[in-house]
Amino acid sequence: MKSIMIKRLPYLFFLGVLFLFSMSPERVMAAEKPLEIVATQALFADLVKQVGQDKVDVRAIASPKFNIHFIQPRPSDVRDVTQADLYVNAGLDLEAWSDPLLEAVGRPQLFRRGERNLDLSSGIRLLKVPDHPVTRAEGDIHLFGNPHFQMNPENARIMVRVISEKLKEIDPVNASYYEENAKVFLGRLDRKIAEWKSLCAHCVGKEIISYHDDIVYFADFLGLKADQELEPKPGIPPTPKHFQFLEDYVKEHQVKAIVLPTYFSRSTAEKLAKRIGAKVATICQNVGEAPGTDDFFSFFDYNFKQISEALQ
Ligand SMILES: [Zn+2]
């Protein structure tokens, strides 16, 4: 009996080591720990979640209740980005606070064009790219073209593919999982785009005015005309002189609606709308900005319902 036990010792030892290795907490955590991802804004965070699902922990820096151009990151944002596996942002100059935040974090991998910085403007067909040099000194904040590209749901096709490729690159073990989730999202997006186009078919060719120049991609998707804003320049609040210009403009144009997100004052929009018998509609810029806009699809459901009703 004793000799049999001695003969089995190496085998038992091997099994024991195997068991301990398989139960090692570090190993279990390494295999199951979700990727830590920080996105600049809620819509991007939602797209990352749609692709990464339970393999990612994602949070957004900017509250959707505020203008995305002018966010003040907090110390907790610096801490979260410092620990992030990936930083997802709009690139361009939509989030002008992003570069100073990354400087404070100090990880070159996360800087623009760094391997852990995912710039979602990559591959997007930009609108309103200036054909002459513009500077911030003149008040402009859309220096590289209009950065509000997320407002066209067609652009989510590109963003979701870019997100899926990046997640596959940094977490190749789960590549097929990300691939499948992206495929499911894109299939649903195809069906929703057909539904939204149908809901807003009567909007084609109609003219709207927006508060800020953040609607151009949305208008492009629907075939709307949107050439004027209440702001005389992006980021410059409405002035009496510009209001007078718009009053003259609307006399010669059939403007049917004035649109703005929730964080701009409605009073100027309502004043102009009253003069011309137009409607004022809330068009959100981000997921979570208004009740019932908790994810990408409900966000666009809300916006297309708003514009459809305003232009009836
Ligand atoms: Zn803007």
| Contact between residue 168 and residue 175 where contact means Cβ atoms under 8 Å apart | yes
| Contact between residue 246 and residue 274 where contact means Cβ atoms under 8 Å apart | no
Give pLDDT, residue 140: 66
Q: Which CATH number fits domain 201-310: 3.30.1360.170, 3.30.70.270, 3.40.50.1980, 3.40.50.720?
A: 3.40.50.1980
Distance 190 CA to ligand 1 centre (A): 27
Q: Is the pLDDT of residue 274 over 70?
A: yes
- Could you tell me which CATH number the domain at 30-195 has? 3.40.50.1980
Full-model pTM: 0.89
Distance 50 CA to ligand 1 centre (A): 26
The neighbouring-strand residues paired with 77 are: none
CA 193 from chain center: how many Å? 17
Distance 120 CA to ligand 1 centre (A): 16
Q: Tokens at residue 96, please?
A: 């002008």
Distance 173 CA to ligand 1 centre (A): 38
Distance CA 14, CA 210 (A): 71
CB atoms closer than 10 angstroms to residue 195? 14
Distance 215 CA to ligand 1 centre (A): 9
Say whether 57 sits in a helix, a strand or coil. Answer: strand
Distance 128 CA to ligand 1 centre (A): 12
Distance 172 CA to ligand 1 centre (A): 36
What does each C-alpha distance from 276 to 208, 222, 252, 255, 260 come to in angstroms? 12, 23, 11, 8, 17
Distance 96 CA to ligand 1 centre (A): 10
Q: What is the mean pLDDT of residues 296-303?
A: 98
Give pLDDT, residue 19: 42
Give pLDDT, residue 214: 97
Backbone angles phi, psi at 216, to 5 degrees: -60, -35
Contacts of 145 (CB under 8 A, 6+ apart): 92, 126, 127, 128, 129, 130
Distance 67 CA to ligand 1 centre (A): 9
Distance 263 CA to ligand 1 centre (A): 13
Distance 6 CA to ligand 1 centre (A): 76
Distance CA 312, CA 69 (A): 32
Distance 101 CA to ligand 1 centre (A): 19
Residue with tokens 């997802």: 88
Residue 108: pLDDT band with limits 50, 70, 90: very high
Q: What is the mean pLDDT of residues 174-179?
A: 98
Residue 134: pLDDT band with limits 50, 70, 90: confident
Q: Is the pLDDT of residue 20 over 70?
A: no
Residue 141: pLDDT band with limits 50, 70, 90: confident
Distance 144 CA to ligand 1 centre (A): 11
Distance CA 65, CA 73 (A): 14
Distance 204 CA to ligand 1 centre (A): 24
Distance 247 CA to ligand 1 centre (A): 23
- Domain locations along the chain: 30-195, 201-310
Distance 279 CA to ligand 1 centre (A): 22
Give pLDDT, residue 32: 74
Distance 22 CA to ligand 1 centre (A): 52
Same fold flag, 30-195 and 201-310 = yes
Neighbours of ion ligand 1 (CB under 5 A): 234
Q: Tokens at residue 298, please?
A: 């409900």
Give pLDDT, residue 139: 62
| Contact between residue 260 and residue 266 where contact means Cβ atoms under 8 Å apart | yes
Q: Tokens at residue 189, please?
A: 């997006």
